Every structure is written in C-alpha cells, then in structure tokens.
C-alpha cells in the first residue's frame, strides 16, 4: 500500500526533487510551500500519483496544523513528514538587519520545530511514522557571513537529538536528520544578501536528486542521521580537531569558493516572500546528467540512464 507523504518546501531544490522521488515510488503526496503557482507546477511533475497541494507559509500562526489537517482530511493519515523548507541570508552578523536574521531563524529552526511537533502528535496517535528533518553540514561546523543559517542549523541538530532521545519509548516512530553539504539548488541566489557578492555552493557539489534518494532511503531504512557530501566528514574533523587552523582557513576559502565574483545590491531575497521565477530543482552549478542521458544515443545513453534511475 502506498504511503502518505507530507513534503514541506516542495517547490524548489531538495524538496522538489524529493517530491519527484516519492512520486516515482507511487506514494500519495501532500505538497506544501508558499507559492501556489509553483506548487501547481510540481503537481504536474508527479502525474501518476494522487497529489494534494496546500499553499503554506510555515511561519504563519496555525499554518502547520492546517496542513496536517488537510492531509488527514484527504488521505486519512500521515505516514511520513519531510521538512525541507529553509531560507538563507548572507552578510556580516552586525550588518545583517535584525529582522532578516530573526526571520531566517524563525523559518529554519522554529518552523522546523513546529513541523516536528505537529507530525509527532499525529504519529503518537497511530503509534507509527517517520519524521525527516533536512539539516546541513553547517549544523556541525561554522562559516562566516552565514550566521543566521548556521545558528538555525546548530539549533535544529540539538532539537533533533533531544527528540530522538525522547522517542526511545516509541519504537514505531522514527526521526531522521539528513545533513547535506553543498547542493546544486537555487537557494544561494534566492538568499537575502547584505554582503555585496552573490553566494554559491563551494565544491564538491552534490545534486539535489542524491539528497532526495537519501531521504527516501530513510523511510525504508530509518537512521538517526545521514550525511550527503564527500567532504562533510573531513570538514567536521577539521572543525573539531584543529579549530585554530580551521578558523584561519575558513574565511579565505569561503570568499574564494563560497562567494561568486558577481556583485549585488542589498536585498531580502526570499526570506519574507517567495520568488516563483527563481524556483527549480537545480541551481545550474552542475551539468544536468539526466538531460545528457536522454540526449545520448546508443548503449552509452542507456547505461547512463540506468545509473541515474
């Protein structure tokens, strides 16, 4: 029997790739994000499954409760809740407007906590369910010019660990924390920016489909946490074992690899409102291998298509 999967943040990046991945498995979907028009596009990308779209601002009072109620009204239950909604802001901490910093924390940490609270309430009523929170390698290390995002992700990791401890008496309910490194999504260009240079994902970069596969796999094989990114472990070791050296290097590396040379005027990005024109699965930092596979004739294309699913 197909599962009922709620995906919050479903219109762009990891969330949109995750919606497609669950749709390919035949699961029934409840897709939530701020932009109703983009939700309609994602629904059209999942044509063979039953999909409910619920325009949702996760920071709105009662919005997550209303989302859960809509899912239960339509499908009778919730089996999986995936929370990927997040915004980002670049800027020195003392130069980032307080309202921007607070809204990033409100979206990335407090709304994730609210989603967990709502999902766990439903799971406890049935005795089973899987909650998947999307965190970041920046929940384990730090980087300059991203203070609001880093603070939120460190807080989310602490929250997840505490809740996992509380769930030890509920073996049918699982909380999984997925920690991507750099991912090819539009979030960097959509970020608020008070630094003057547009951000970008530092290499090595993973595709959003890779993170989506890890999320789907967490439903079949639940784990406390999973890391997606080739250098995540190396960065975590460096941050912990040689913190002085890490702090010397991280600033120059961030300016070299994590920021583009393109200048930009100060703006709020999508912190307070969505930008449907900028929403997509990919950010354009990696070649689209799926499109390449479709264009390649003969055995080479067939092999690549099989490898990419």
In the chain, helix, strand, coil percent, each to 5?
50, 20, 30
The pLDDT value recorded for residue 308 is 47
Confidence of residue 287 (pLDDT cuts 50, 70, 90): confident
Taking only the tens place, the pLDDT of each residue in 89-118 is: 999 999 999 999 999 999 999 999 999 999
Confidence of residue 1 (pLDDT cuts 50, 70, 90): confident
Taking only the tens place, the pLDDT of each residue in 164-201 is: 999 999 999 999 999 999 999 999 999 999 999 999 99
The pLDDT value recorded for residue 302 is 63
CA angle in degrees (0–180, nearest 5) for 86-156-195 = 50
Rounded CA gap, 63 and 66, in Å? 5
Mean pLDDT of 134-159: 98
Out of 90, 140, 145, 149, which one is annotated catalytic? 149
Helix/strand/coil for 16: helix
Could you confirm whether 149 is annotated as catalytic? yes
The pLDDT value recorded for residue 290 is 59
CA angle in degrees (0–180, nearest 5) for 187-247-250 = 35
Q: Count of CB atoms within 10 A of residue 288's CB?
A: 14
Please tell me the number of Cα atoms within 13 Å of 309 on its side-chain side: 8
Mean pLDDT of 217-235: 96
Rounded CA gap, 34 and 275, in Å? 9
Q: Count of CB atoms within 10 A of residue 73's CB?
A: 9
Closest CA to 17 of 207, 200, 180: 207
Give start and end residues of each alpha helix (H) in 45-110: 63-75, 98-105
Give start and end residues of each alpha helix (H) in the chain: 13-24, 36-44, 63-75, 98-105, 111-126, 147-166, 187-190, 208-220, 232-241, 243-253, 289-295, 298-308
- Size of the chain in residues: 309
């Amino acid at each position: 029997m197909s599962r009922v999967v709620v995906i919050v943040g479903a219109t762009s990046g990891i969330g949109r790739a995750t919606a497609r991945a669950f749709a390919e498995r035949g699961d029934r979907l409840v897709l939530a994000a701020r932009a109703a028009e983009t939700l309609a596009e994602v629904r059209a990308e999942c044509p063979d499954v039953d999909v409910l779209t619920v325009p949702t601002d996760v920071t709105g009072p009662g919005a997550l409760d209303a989302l859960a109620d809509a899912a239960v009204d339509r499908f009778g239950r919730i089996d999986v809740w995936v929370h990927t909604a997040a915004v980002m802001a670049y800027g020195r901490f003392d130069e980032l407007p307080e309202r921007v910093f607070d809204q990033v924390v409100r979206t990335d940490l407090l709304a994730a906590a609210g989603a967990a609270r709502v999902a766990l309430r439903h799971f406890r009523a049935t005795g089973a369910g899987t909650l998947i929170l999307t965190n970041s390698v920046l929940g384990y290390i730090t980087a300059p010019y991203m203070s609001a995002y880093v603070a939120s992700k460190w807080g989310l990791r602490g929250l997840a660990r505490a809740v996992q401890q509380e769930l030890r008496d509920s073996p049918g309910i699982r909380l999984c924390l997925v920690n991507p490194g750099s991912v090819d999504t539009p979030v960097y260009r959509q970020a608020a920016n008070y630094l003057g240079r547009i951000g970008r994902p530092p290499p090595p970069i993973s595709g959003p489909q890779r993170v989506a596969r890890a999320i789907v796999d967490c439903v079949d094989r639940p784990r406390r946490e999973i890391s997606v990114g080739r250098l995540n472990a190396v960065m975590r070791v460096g941050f912990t074992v040689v913190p002085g050296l890490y702090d010397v290097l991280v600033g120059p590396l961030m300016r070299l690899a994590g920021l583009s040379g393109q200048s930009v005027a100060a703006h709020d990005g999508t912190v307070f409102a969505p930008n449907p024109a900028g929403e997509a699965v990919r950010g354009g930092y990696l070649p689209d291998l799926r499109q390449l596979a479709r264009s390649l004739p003969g055995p080479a294309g067939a092999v690549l298509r099989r490898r990419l699913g």
